[in-house]
Structure 1
Amino acid sequence: MNRTHYWLSLLEGCFLVALGVHVLSASQLLISGTAGVGILLQPLSGLSFGQLFFVLNLPFCLLAWRYLGAAFTLRTGICVTLLAIFSEVLARYAFIDVAPVVAAIIGGTLIGFGLMVLLRQQASLGGINVLAVFLQEHFGIHPGKTLFVSDLLLGACALLVMPPTQVMLSVVAFVLMSQVVGRYHQSVAQAGSEA
Protein backbone atom coordinates (compact mmCIF):
# COMPACT_ATOMS: atom_id res chain seq x y z
CA MET A 1 0.00 0.00 0.00
CA ASN A 2 1.17 3.51 -0.78
CA ARG A 3 2.46 5.23 2.39
CA THR A 4 0.82 8.53 1.43
CA HIS A 5 -2.54 6.76 1.06
CA TYR A 6 -2.03 5.06 4.43
CA TRP A 7 -1.33 8.30 6.33
CA LEU A 8 -4.13 10.14 4.55
CA SER A 9 -6.48 7.32 5.58
CA LEU A 10 -5.44 7.70 9.23
CA LEU A 11 -6.01 11.46 9.03
CA GLU A 12 -9.38 10.94 7.33
CA GLY A 13 -10.55 8.36 9.87
CA CYS A 14 -9.50 10.45 12.86
CA PHE A 15 -11.06 13.60 11.43
CA LEU A 16 -14.39 11.84 10.70
CA VAL A 17 -14.51 10.53 14.28
CA ALA A 18 -13.54 13.93 15.72
CA LEU A 19 -16.25 15.62 13.65
CA GLY A 20 -18.83 13.04 14.78
CA VAL A 21 -17.78 13.54 18.40
CA HIS A 22 -18.06 17.32 17.98
CA VAL A 23 -21.56 17.07 16.45
CA LEU A 24 -22.75 14.86 19.32
CA SER A 25 -21.17 16.91 22.09
CA ALA A 26 -22.51 20.17 20.59
CA SER A 27 -25.99 18.73 21.15
CA GLN A 28 -25.03 17.46 24.61
CA LEU A 29 -25.32 13.85 23.56
CA LEU A 30 -23.18 11.06 24.88
CA ILE A 31 -20.28 9.84 22.82
CA SER A 32 -19.41 6.18 22.60
CA GLY A 33 -16.46 4.29 24.06
CA THR A 34 -13.63 5.94 25.93
CA ALA A 35 -14.73 9.28 24.52
CA GLY A 36 -18.09 8.86 26.29
CA VAL A 37 -16.33 8.12 29.57
CA GLY A 38 -14.30 11.27 28.98
CA ILE A 39 -17.43 13.36 28.47
CA LEU A 40 -18.95 12.00 31.69
CA LEU A 41 -15.75 12.66 33.68
CA GLN A 42 -14.87 16.02 32.09
CA PRO A 43 -16.78 18.22 34.60
CA LEU A 44 -14.89 16.52 37.45
CA SER A 45 -11.45 16.61 35.85
CA GLY A 46 -10.94 20.23 34.82
CA LEU A 47 -9.37 19.01 31.55
CA SER A 48 -10.59 19.61 28.01
CA PHE A 49 -12.10 16.67 26.16
CA GLY A 50 -8.99 16.21 24.00
CA GLN A 51 -6.67 16.17 27.03
CA LEU A 52 -8.87 13.77 28.99
CA PHE A 53 -9.32 11.47 26.00
CA PHE A 54 -5.54 11.26 25.61
CA VAL A 55 -4.98 10.49 29.32
CA LEU A 56 -7.74 7.85 29.48
CA ASN A 57 -6.19 6.00 26.57
CA LEU A 58 -2.72 5.61 28.07
CA PRO A 59 -3.58 2.35 29.95
CA PHE A 60 -5.18 0.91 26.81
CA CYS A 61 -2.02 1.66 24.84
CA LEU A 62 -0.09 -0.45 27.39
CA LEU A 63 -2.63 -3.26 26.91
CA ALA A 64 -2.24 -2.99 23.15
CA TRP A 65 1.56 -3.09 23.44
CA ARG A 66 1.44 -6.31 25.44
CA TYR A 67 -1.18 -8.24 23.46
CA LEU A 68 -1.41 -6.67 19.99
CA GLY A 69 2.18 -5.69 19.26
CA ALA A 70 4.30 -2.60 18.84
CA ALA A 71 3.10 -1.71 15.33
CA PHE A 72 -0.59 -1.73 16.32
CA THR A 73 0.21 0.25 19.48
CA LEU A 74 2.14 2.86 17.50
CA ARG A 75 -0.75 3.27 15.03
CA THR A 76 -3.19 3.50 17.93
CA GLY A 77 -1.06 6.09 19.74
CA ILE A 78 -0.86 8.19 16.58
CA CYS A 79 -4.64 7.98 16.08
CA VAL A 80 -5.39 8.84 19.71
CA THR A 81 -3.11 11.88 19.42
CA LEU A 82 -4.67 12.96 16.10
CA LEU A 83 -8.19 12.64 17.51
CA ALA A 84 -7.22 14.67 20.58
CA ILE A 85 -5.74 17.41 18.37
CA PHE A 86 -8.68 17.46 15.93
CA SER A 87 -11.11 17.58 18.87
CA GLU A 88 -9.29 20.56 20.38
CA VAL A 89 -9.32 22.42 17.04
CA LEU A 90 -13.01 21.69 16.36
CA ALA A 91 -14.02 22.68 19.90
CA ARG A 92 -12.23 26.00 19.47
CA TYR A 93 -13.13 26.93 15.89
CA ALA A 94 -16.17 24.96 14.66
CA PHE A 95 -19.70 25.95 15.59
CA ILE A 96 -22.38 23.35 14.95
CA ASP A 97 -26.03 23.91 15.85
CA VAL A 98 -28.35 21.07 14.84
CA ALA A 99 -31.32 19.41 16.47
CA PRO A 100 -30.33 16.56 18.81
CA VAL A 101 -32.09 13.95 16.61
CA VAL A 102 -30.11 15.10 13.57
CA ALA A 103 -26.93 15.22 15.66
CA ALA A 104 -27.46 11.60 16.76
CA ILE A 105 -27.85 10.44 13.16
CA ILE A 106 -24.98 12.48 11.72
CA GLY A 107 -22.63 11.96 14.66
CA GLY A 108 -23.13 8.21 14.93
CA THR A 109 -22.71 7.74 11.18
CA LEU A 110 -19.56 9.90 11.01
CA ILE A 111 -17.97 8.03 13.90
CA GLY A 112 -18.86 4.69 12.31
CA PHE A 113 -17.30 5.64 8.98
CA GLY A 114 -14.21 7.01 10.74
CA LEU A 115 -13.76 3.78 12.71
CA MET A 116 -14.28 1.77 9.53
CA VAL A 117 -11.45 3.68 7.80
CA LEU A 118 -9.16 3.15 10.79
CA LEU A 119 -9.97 -0.56 11.13
CA ARG A 120 -9.23 -0.99 7.43
CA GLN A 121 -5.71 0.31 8.17
CA GLN A 122 -5.37 -2.01 11.23
CA ALA A 123 -5.51 1.01 13.54
CA SER A 124 -7.82 2.00 16.36
CA LEU A 125 -8.60 4.86 18.71
CA GLY A 126 -7.60 2.98 21.83
CA GLY A 127 -9.94 2.27 24.70
CA ILE A 128 -12.80 -0.06 23.85
CA ASN A 129 -11.52 -0.24 20.27
CA VAL A 130 -8.35 -1.95 21.54
CA LEU A 131 -10.51 -4.38 23.46
CA ALA A 132 -12.65 -4.97 20.34
CA VAL A 133 -9.58 -5.75 18.21
CA PHE A 134 -8.15 -8.00 20.95
CA LEU A 135 -11.41 -9.97 21.26
CA GLN A 136 -11.69 -10.28 17.48
CA GLU A 137 -8.14 -11.57 17.02
CA HIS A 138 -8.10 -13.93 20.02
CA PHE A 139 -11.72 -15.07 20.33
CA GLY A 140 -13.36 -14.25 16.96
CA ILE A 141 -15.87 -11.86 18.53
CA HIS A 142 -17.21 -9.30 16.05
CA PRO A 143 -15.93 -5.77 16.89
CA GLY A 144 -19.36 -4.23 16.25
CA LYS A 145 -20.85 -6.43 18.99
CA THR A 146 -18.15 -5.46 21.49
CA LEU A 147 -18.61 -1.76 20.76
CA PHE A 148 -22.40 -2.03 20.93
CA VAL A 149 -22.43 -3.84 24.30
CA SER A 150 -19.91 -1.43 25.82
CA ASP A 151 -21.94 1.52 24.58
CA LEU A 152 -25.13 0.13 26.10
CA LEU A 153 -23.33 -0.19 29.44
CA LEU A 154 -22.09 3.39 29.08
CA GLY A 155 -25.63 4.52 28.28
CA ALA A 156 -26.91 2.81 31.43
CA CYS A 157 -24.31 4.66 33.53
CA ALA A 158 -25.23 7.92 31.79
CA LEU A 159 -28.82 7.61 32.99
CA LEU A 160 -27.51 8.51 36.44
CA VAL A 161 -26.35 11.96 35.32
CA MET A 162 -28.15 12.80 32.05
CA PRO A 163 -31.82 13.25 31.08
CA PRO A 164 -33.34 10.07 29.59
CA THR A 165 -34.09 11.78 26.25
CA GLN A 166 -30.41 12.63 25.75
CA VAL A 167 -29.38 9.10 26.65
CA MET A 168 -31.89 7.58 24.22
CA LEU A 169 -30.69 9.81 21.38
CA SER A 170 -27.13 8.84 22.29
CA VAL A 171 -28.11 5.18 21.98
CA VAL A 172 -29.40 5.97 18.46
CA ALA A 173 -25.91 7.27 17.64
CA PHE A 174 -24.33 4.13 19.16
CA VAL A 175 -26.57 1.87 17.06
CA LEU A 176 -25.79 3.76 13.84
CA MET A 177 -22.06 3.65 14.58
CA SER A 178 -22.03 -0.10 15.21
CA GLN A 179 -24.20 -0.73 12.13
CA VAL A 180 -21.69 1.10 9.91
CA VAL A 181 -18.75 -0.81 11.44
CA GLY A 182 -20.72 -4.06 11.22
CA ARG A 183 -21.53 -3.58 7.53
CA TYR A 184 -17.84 -3.03 6.80
CA HIS A 185 -16.86 -6.27 8.52
CA GLN A 186 -19.70 -8.11 6.80
CA SER A 187 -18.51 -6.94 3.38
CA VAL A 188 -14.91 -7.95 4.20
CA ALA A 189 -16.07 -11.41 5.25
CA GLN A 190 -18.13 -11.83 2.07
CA ALA A 191 -15.22 -10.69 -0.12
CA GLY A 192 -12.95 -13.20 1.65
CA SER A 193 -15.38 -16.07 1.09
CA GLU A 194 -15.77 -15.23 -2.60
CA ALA A 195 -12.01 -15.09 -3.21
Structure 2
Amino acid sequence: MNTAPPHDPLDHSLIDDVQGLALGIFMCGLGVHILTHVGLITGQTAGIAVILSYLTGWSFGSVFFVINLPFYLLAYRRLGLEFTVKSLISVTLLSLVTEYLPAGFEPGRITPALGAVTFGALVGLGLLAMFRHKGSLGGLGVVALMVQDTTGFRAGYVQLIADAVIFGVAFLLFDWQVVAWSLLGAVVLNLIIAINHRRDRYVAT
Protein backbone atom coordinates (compact mmCIF):
# COMPACT_ATOMS: atom_id res chain seq x y z
CA MET A 1 0.00 0.00 0.00
CA ASN A 2 1.32 3.44 -0.91
CA THR A 3 1.92 5.41 2.30
CA ALA A 4 3.57 8.44 0.67
CA PRO A 5 1.94 11.73 1.58
CA PRO A 6 -0.42 13.10 -1.04
CA HIS A 7 1.11 15.55 -3.48
CA ASP A 8 -0.20 19.06 -3.36
CA PRO A 9 -0.98 20.07 -6.96
CA LEU A 10 0.03 23.64 -6.08
CA ASP A 11 3.54 22.67 -4.98
CA HIS A 12 6.20 24.34 -7.11
CA SER A 13 9.16 22.40 -8.43
CA LEU A 14 12.54 24.02 -9.01
CA ILE A 15 11.76 24.26 -12.73
CA ASP A 16 8.41 25.88 -11.93
CA ASP A 17 10.16 28.50 -9.79
CA VAL A 18 12.88 29.18 -12.35
CA GLN A 19 10.45 29.75 -15.22
CA GLY A 20 8.03 31.75 -13.07
CA LEU A 21 10.70 34.06 -11.68
CA ALA A 22 12.41 34.40 -15.07
CA LEU A 23 9.13 35.40 -16.72
CA GLY A 24 8.38 37.86 -13.94
CA ILE A 25 11.83 39.44 -14.14
CA PHE A 26 11.64 39.79 -17.92
CA MET A 27 8.18 41.38 -17.82
CA CYS A 28 9.26 43.80 -15.10
CA GLY A 29 12.42 44.69 -17.02
CA LEU A 30 10.44 45.30 -20.18
CA GLY A 31 7.98 47.47 -18.29
CA VAL A 32 10.72 49.58 -16.70
CA HIS A 33 12.40 49.96 -20.09
CA ILE A 34 9.19 51.37 -21.59
CA LEU A 35 8.67 53.59 -18.55
CA THR A 36 12.09 55.22 -18.82
CA HIS A 37 11.79 55.41 -22.62
CA VAL A 38 8.79 57.75 -22.28
CA GLY A 39 10.45 59.65 -19.43
CA LEU A 40 8.06 58.69 -16.66
CA ILE A 41 8.65 57.59 -13.08
CA THR A 42 7.04 55.06 -10.79
CA GLY A 43 6.58 54.29 -7.12
CA GLN A 44 8.16 51.87 -4.66
CA THR A 45 11.87 51.16 -4.54
CA ALA A 46 12.02 51.11 -8.32
CA GLY A 47 10.53 54.60 -8.37
CA ILE A 48 13.17 55.89 -5.99
CA ALA A 49 15.83 54.31 -8.24
CA VAL A 50 14.31 55.87 -11.38
CA ILE A 51 14.21 59.32 -9.79
CA LEU A 52 17.80 59.05 -8.59
CA SER A 53 18.97 57.80 -11.97
CA TYR A 54 17.33 60.80 -13.68
CA LEU A 55 18.86 63.23 -11.18
CA THR A 56 22.36 61.74 -11.05
CA GLY A 57 22.82 60.22 -14.49
CA TRP A 58 23.64 56.84 -12.95
CA SER A 59 22.05 53.78 -14.54
CA PHE A 60 18.77 52.51 -13.14
CA GLY A 61 20.17 49.00 -12.70
CA SER A 62 23.05 50.11 -10.49
CA VAL A 63 20.94 52.40 -8.32
CA PHE A 64 18.17 49.82 -7.98
CA PHE A 65 20.61 47.13 -6.86
CA VAL A 66 22.23 49.33 -4.20
CA ILE A 67 18.95 50.67 -2.79
CA ASN A 68 17.68 47.16 -2.17
CA LEU A 69 20.65 46.02 -0.08
CA PRO A 70 19.30 47.15 3.34
CA PHE A 71 16.01 45.32 2.80
CA TYR A 72 17.55 41.85 2.52
CA LEU A 73 18.18 41.60 6.26
CA LEU A 74 14.58 42.52 6.95
CA ALA A 75 13.38 39.98 4.40
CA TYR A 76 15.53 37.25 5.93
CA ARG A 77 14.39 37.91 9.49
CA ARG A 78 10.66 38.10 8.69
CA LEU A 79 10.09 36.13 5.47
CA GLY A 80 12.80 33.47 5.52
CA LEU A 81 15.91 32.44 3.65
CA GLU A 82 14.16 31.13 0.52
CA PHE A 83 12.27 34.36 -0.06
CA THR A 84 15.40 36.44 0.59
CA VAL A 85 17.62 34.44 -1.77
CA LYS A 86 15.01 34.51 -4.52
CA SER A 87 14.56 38.26 -4.06
CA LEU A 88 18.32 38.87 -4.17
CA ILE A 89 18.62 36.85 -7.37
CA SER A 90 15.58 38.59 -8.87
CA VAL A 91 16.85 42.10 -8.09
CA THR A 92 20.29 41.28 -9.48
CA LEU A 93 18.86 39.83 -12.68
CA LEU A 94 16.43 42.72 -13.14
CA SER A 95 19.33 45.14 -12.75
CA LEU A 96 21.16 43.28 -15.52
CA VAL A 97 18.07 43.06 -17.75
CA THR A 98 17.48 46.81 -17.55
CA GLU A 99 21.16 47.43 -18.31
CA TYR A 100 21.27 45.32 -21.48
CA LEU A 101 17.69 45.34 -22.78
CA PRO A 102 18.14 48.70 -24.60
CA ALA A 103 20.85 47.08 -26.78
CA GLY A 104 18.26 44.72 -28.26
CA PHE A 105 15.02 46.66 -28.01
CA GLU A 106 14.51 50.35 -28.62
CA PRO A 107 10.78 51.28 -28.63
CA GLY A 108 9.46 53.72 -31.19
CA ARG A 109 6.91 56.43 -30.50
CA ILE A 110 4.78 55.71 -27.43
CA THR A 111 2.43 58.27 -25.92
CA PRO A 112 2.82 58.90 -22.17
CA ALA A 113 -0.64 57.48 -21.50
CA LEU A 114 0.00 54.22 -23.37
CA GLY A 115 3.48 53.99 -21.91
CA ALA A 116 2.10 54.34 -18.38
CA VAL A 117 -0.60 51.71 -18.87
CA THR A 118 1.79 49.31 -20.60
CA PHE A 119 4.31 49.71 -17.80
CA GLY A 120 1.67 49.12 -15.12
CA ALA A 121 0.27 46.03 -16.85
CA LEU A 122 3.66 44.43 -17.54
CA VAL A 123 5.14 45.05 -14.11
CA GLY A 124 1.91 44.16 -12.31
CA LEU A 125 1.74 40.79 -14.06
CA GLY A 126 5.48 40.29 -13.63
CA LEU A 127 5.26 40.86 -9.89
CA LEU A 128 2.30 38.48 -9.62
CA ALA A 129 4.38 35.76 -11.25
CA MET A 130 7.23 36.44 -8.83
CA PHE A 131 5.00 36.56 -5.73
CA ARG A 132 3.48 33.20 -6.65
CA HIS A 133 6.95 31.67 -6.69
CA LYS A 134 8.01 33.24 -3.37
CA GLY A 135 10.09 35.97 -4.95
CA SER A 136 9.95 39.74 -5.08
CA LEU A 137 11.92 42.75 -6.20
CA GLY A 138 12.83 43.50 -2.61
CA GLY A 139 12.60 46.95 -1.14
CA LEU A 140 9.20 48.29 -0.17
CA GLY A 141 7.58 45.24 -1.76
CA VAL A 142 9.00 43.19 1.11
CA VAL A 143 7.37 45.53 3.61
CA ALA A 144 4.06 45.34 1.72
CA LEU A 145 4.07 41.53 1.77
CA MET A 146 4.93 41.51 5.47
CA VAL A 147 2.00 43.80 6.24
CA GLN A 148 -0.37 41.63 4.22
CA ASP A 149 0.82 38.41 5.89
CA THR A 150 0.58 39.82 9.42
CA THR A 151 -2.52 42.02 9.21
CA GLY A 152 -4.43 40.95 6.09
CA PHE A 153 -4.22 44.47 4.66
CA ARG A 154 -3.64 44.01 0.92
CA ALA A 155 -0.07 44.38 -0.35
CA GLY A 156 -1.29 46.46 -3.29
CA TYR A 157 -2.92 48.99 -0.99
CA VAL A 158 0.21 49.23 1.14
CA GLN A 159 2.16 50.03 -1.99
CA LEU A 160 -0.41 52.62 -3.05
CA ILE A 161 0.16 54.46 0.23
CA ALA A 162 3.94 54.36 -0.24
CA ASP A 163 3.49 55.55 -3.82
CA ALA A 164 1.47 58.54 -2.61
CA VAL A 165 4.47 59.69 -0.58
CA ILE A 166 6.94 59.12 -3.41
CA PHE A 167 4.77 60.91 -5.96
CA GLY A 168 4.26 63.77 -3.55
CA VAL A 169 8.01 64.29 -3.56
CA ALA A 170 8.12 63.83 -7.34
CA PHE A 171 5.68 66.73 -7.81
CA LEU A 172 8.40 68.97 -6.33
CA LEU A 173 11.04 67.71 -8.78
CA PHE A 174 9.31 67.06 -12.11
CA ASP A 175 6.72 68.60 -14.42
CA TRP A 176 3.21 67.89 -13.16
CA GLN A 177 2.21 66.18 -16.42
CA VAL A 178 5.07 63.69 -16.09
CA VAL A 179 3.99 62.90 -12.55
CA ALA A 180 0.31 62.64 -13.52
CA TRP A 181 0.95 60.08 -16.28
CA SER A 182 3.36 58.24 -14.02
CA LEU A 183 0.70 58.03 -11.34
CA LEU A 184 -1.63 56.36 -13.86
CA GLY A 185 0.95 53.63 -14.40
CA ALA A 186 1.40 53.12 -10.66
CA VAL A 187 -2.37 52.84 -10.15
CA VAL A 188 -2.67 50.21 -12.89
CA LEU A 189 0.24 48.23 -11.41
CA ASN A 190 -1.02 48.28 -7.84
CA LEU A 191 -4.63 47.53 -8.71
CA ILE A 192 -3.49 44.43 -10.59
CA ILE A 193 -1.66 43.26 -7.48
CA ALA A 194 -4.42 44.26 -5.06
CA ILE A 195 -7.13 42.46 -7.01
CA ASN A 196 -5.20 39.35 -8.00
CA HIS A 197 -2.65 38.68 -5.23
CA ARG A 198 -4.86 36.98 -2.66
CA ARG A 199 -3.57 34.19 -0.43
CA ASP A 200 -7.10 32.78 -0.04
CA ARG A 201 -7.23 32.13 -3.78
CA TYR A 202 -3.69 30.92 -4.39
CA VAL A 203 -1.61 29.04 -1.84
CA ALA A 204 1.62 27.30 -2.80
CA THR A 205 4.26 25.71 -0.63
Q: Same fold (TM over 0.5)?
A: yes
SS of the counterpart of 1:174? helix
Shift of 1:32: 2.4
2: distance between equivalents of 1:190 and 1:68? 20
Give the unaligned 5+ runs of structure 1: none
Does residue 167 (structure 1) correspond to residue 179 (structure 2)? The answer is: yes
SS of the counterpart of 2:70? helix
Q: Which residue of 2 aligns with 1:179?
A: 191
Give the unaligned 5+ runs of structure 2: 1-11
2: distance between equivalents of 1:120 and 1:154? 26
Contact 2:53 2:59 in 1 (8 A): yes
Shift of 1:52: 0.7
2: distance between equivalents of 1:53 and 1:92? 19
1: distance between equivalents of 2:156 and 2:63? 24
Aligned AA (2:154): H
Offset from partner CA, 1:54-81 (integer Å, 9 cap, x none): 0000001121112222111101101101
Which structure has more helix as a fraction of its residues?
A: 1
Does residue 51 (structure 1) correspond to residue 62 (structure 2)? The answer is: yes
Aligned AA (1:7): V
2: distance between equivalents of 1:53 and 1:162? 20
Q: Which residue of 2 aligns with 1:128?
A: 140
2: distance between equivalents of 1:22 and 1:63? 28
2: distance between equivalents of 1:71 and 1:149? 27
Calculate the aligned-residue CA RMSD, in Å. 1.6
- Runs of at least 4 residues off by over 3 Å: 43-46
Does residue 38 (structure 1) correspond to residue 52 (structure 2)? The answer is: no
Total equivalences in the alignment: 191
1: distance between equivalents of 2:169 and 2:188? 20
Question: Normalization by structure 2: what TM-score?
Answer: 0.88
1: distance between equivalents of 2:54 and 2:180? 21
2: distance between equivalents of 1:33 and 1:67? 19
Contact 1:25 1:31 in 2 (8 A): no
2: distance between equivalents of 1:178 and 1:29? 16
Q: Quick check: which has more Rg, 1 or 2?
A: 2
1:91 corresponds to which of 78, 92, 102: 102
2:163 corresponds to which of 151, 155, 160: 151
